[in-house]
Amino acid sequence: MSFDVKLINKVQGFVQEEGMNETTLPALKLYVSSVEIPLMPIVLQPAICFVLQGRKKVKAGRLAYEYSPNTYLINSVIRPVEASVFDIASNKPYVGLSLGIDQHVVGQLMMEMNNWDHETSYAEQATLTQSTPLTSPIENALERLVDTLADPMDRGILSSAICRDLYYQVLKGPCGGLLRNSVSHHAGANRIAPVVHYIEQNFERNLDIEEIANVAGMSGSSLHEHFKQVTSVSPMQYVKSLRLHKARSMLSLGYQVSEVCFGVGYSSPSQFSREFKRYFGFTPSEAKSSVTAIG
């Protein structure tokens, strides 16, 4: 199945410019690009992501996830990746949208589903990100959610219930366990998900493998092995990626290089500049404000 052209036209009607567009629903973002975009580094947020037109690839180390109008992507944690958009034409630009994951709503839904059916279970997920086939109930919920953007009253009264419906449909799906991983306090979550959440909250500090391993309740070597199996990078590589992406974001907002260097946890400006250039291909001082269509 694929998205109705009417929905594609509706989304394009709410788009103001190329790239990422905020909406009056803080969790809902719209994306459009009239040109193909090669693999570039981004930080993927916890979200349910859809491609209405075109195709998108997300690459994390040796792992790659491709999705199109027939599928959608679930990403359960903040994750540095490379992403590209392709398979578009001059009269058919890339059109996509993402719905941020509300941990409170997802956690509440999981408790209610368990109360309704104590045999409810979630398939164990081998990764923190996955694409899965689109279903009619999810497409329907997404279209209703986009419709609320046109009417403030609909948005105020209906949007939260529609988002809840969409989360519910995703939870019932084959990759619903990924939403469980997005709820950091859930006792049954994947063992690596809480570690990633901890790194997200503390990456600017002088973290070491022993501290991170203590959070996981593992030895340093065991954590390294399990973490790399799930994310395809080591815990310390993950820390470095988050620092550099945060640095790039701060630079785009006009912060001074020295301020950014120390703000994201580096103690050596020369090391910061060297690692930044190695990762992005340009120096911190060359970093300019930019908007990506594939965020």
Give the separation between CA 145 and CA 7, rounded to whole angstroms: 11
Q: Domains in the chain, start-ordered, CATH in brackets? A: 5-182 (2.60.120), 192-286 (1.10.10.60)
**206, HSE (Cβ side, Cα atoms, 13 Å):** 4
pLDDT at res. 289: 52
Question: ∠ CA(20), CA(22), CA(26), 5° rounding?
Answer: 135
Query: In Å, how far are 46, 107, 216, 227 from 193, measured between CA atoms?
Result: 11, 15, 9, 9
pLDDT at residue 189 in the model:
42
**pLDDT at position 290, please?**
52
User: Residue 268 contacts by C-beta under 8 Å, 6 or more apart in sequence?
Assistant: 261
For residue 291, the model assigns a pLDDT of 46
Tell me, what's the pLDDT at 187?
Answer: 39
Look at residue 117 in the predicted model and tell me its pLDDT: 64
Give the pLDDT of residue 106.
92
Q: Which helix (H) or strand (E) holds 167?
A: helix 152-172
d(CA 42, CA 245): 7
Q: Can you give the pLDDT at residue 295? A: 61
- pTM reported for the whole predicted model: 0.79
What does the alpha-carbon distance between residue 61 and residue 291 come to, in Å, rounded to a whole number?
24
Consecutive 10-residue runs of the chain (295 residues): their mean pLDDT?
Answer: 85 91 95 92 91 94 89 90 91 95 91 71 67 94 97 96 96 86 56 82 90 88 84 87 88 88 93 92 77 57
Distance CA(195)–CA(213), nearest Å, equals 8
pLDDT given at position 144: 97
d(CA 118, CA 165): 20
The DSSP line for 105-150 is HHHHHHHHHHHH-TT---PPPSSSEEEEE--HHHHHHHHHHHHGGG
HSE, CB side, 13 Å, CA atoms: give it for residue 201.
9
